[in-house]
Structure 1
Amino acid sequence: MYKQCVTRKEAQGTARVFDPTTRAGTVLLDDGTEVAFDGPAFDAGGLRLLRIGQRVKMSVDDGRVVALTLVTLPLPE
């Protein structure tokens, strides 16, 4: 039987902290886990600004956020 290994997944949460200078911040997942993202992950999602409390979705690869955008927008491939 063929077993496929998938390391990239999507997650949703609420923006908790955002620094517009570094474009980095944190997201609070629904289970209470806080996940950090860096500037390149923010840039990959195509956003220009993020407000505290906004609902976001993230693409996570090997435990690292690689893209972040609003829940109403598509994540980059």
Structure 2
Amino acid sequence: MPPSARRSGLGPPETAGSGSAEAEPEVGRPGIRVALMHATSYTYDPETRSGSVLLDDGTPVEFDAAAFDAGGLRLLRPGQRVRLETEGAGEGLRITLVTLQTL
């Protein structure tokens, strides 16, 4: 398909990767593949700054304080849409950044 068709929105839809129908393309860092995806905040503990999100397919994934701090957030409420950076896949999926989804 010509590039102009892709830019205009014509042609087949892009397929999403690992876990979310709204997953963005993977970006590369030296030696590490990072997937960008969206999810919904499920739990958050302000004392430990950790919690969990639900991927769009309903899979719960936990995040630690380092992932929360990397996003620059101060608070997270259940039900908020978030953008994630992750490493790994399947059982080895690890959230490395949690931040609010912006339009």
TM value normalised by structure 1? 0.83
* Larger strand percent: 1
Q: Measure how far apart 1:6 and its partner are.
A: 6.1
The answer to which structure, 1 or 2, has the higher relative contact order (CA under 8 A, 6+ apart) is: 1
> Highest CA radius of gyration, 1 or 2?
2
1:72 and 2:102 equivalent? yes
Alpha-carbon separation, structure 2, partners of 1:18 and 1:34: 13
State the partner residue of 1:42.
Answer: 68
Q: For residues 12-68 of structure 1, give each alpha carbon's deviation from its aligned partner in whole angstroms, at most 9, with x where no partner exists.
A: 111000000000000001101101000010000000000111000100012211110
Amino acid at match of 1:56: V
Residues 1-77 of structure 1 aligned to structure 2 (within 5 Å): 7-62=33-88, 63-72=93-102
Root-mean-square deviation over aligned CA pairs: 1.8
User: What runs of 5+ residues in structure 1 fail to find an aligned partner?
Assistant: none
Identity of aligned residues (%): 51
User: What runs of 5+ residues in structure 2 fail to find an aligned partner?
Assistant: 1-27
